[in-house]
Amino acid sequence: MKVGIIGCGFIGSEIAKFIDKNQNFQLIGLNDIDKNKLNELIQSLKYNKPKFMELDDLIMNSDLIVESAAKNIISNILRNKNLDKKNKKLLIMSTGGLINNLRLLGKMENCKILLPSGAIAGLDAIKSVSGKIRSLTLTTTKPVKGLEGAPYITKNKIYLANIRGKRTLFEGNLKEAVEGFPQNINVAATLYLASKFNGIKVRIIADSDTKFNTHEIEAIGNFGIITIKTQNLPSKNPKTSYLAVLSAIQTIKNTESKVKIGN
């Protein structure tokens, strides 16, 4: 399977290194606006030396396109004339970018869209009760450093360095969370896409004393109560949980698996 990766940050680099060692896949192209980052990744690969490709060429020539860049690029990818073809697959990490592009997502007829569970667990259960949920809450707690640079933080002039212990920074709906914390809250978008529940409540907490990215989900309905909690260690990128990387790699492995576990 020919693979192209859009975005060569930590997640894209780890996926590239996995593919480089796997004989079932061939990494043919990379795309990133940071050419230095891209070249460093190419040099780090042992068995394959993919080349830089423009977006059109990468999508046209790849069987599996991996997006690990940013939510702002999702629209360009979904609109690309070369994407909606038979036997193509698109793996999206920046699921927050889908919230404003659901119409484009719904128009896909041939390309298979893959959305890893990322930094959370329990999506099988959430999908199973879709349509039966009365209340759905996501509480995300992160180290202060993991929230630096978020638009909501900047706009509201929140001085993260002054926070001691836990402090609730945000409470609101999904759209507000995705706009205010685009690099932190892809889990909320993934949760929505699994649940189809429009009333998700999102709470974001900064904690100066924790080293974990913690996501707590509570779903209530006529099925009972589902409570899910994950405590993830950050990757080298403090905004990204290492579990998100492992989830992406497992999703890629599943494309070749003959046994499917879960719904």
Q: Give the integer Cα–Cα distance in Å for 196 and 26.
A: 35
Count of CB atoms within 10 A of residue 87's CB?
10
* CB contact at 8 A, 186 and 100: no
Establish whether 215 is a catalytic residue.
yes
Let me know: does 196 contact 210? Beta carbons within 8 Å: no
Q: Which of 215, 217, 241, 243 is catalytic?
A: 215
| Residues designated as active site | 215
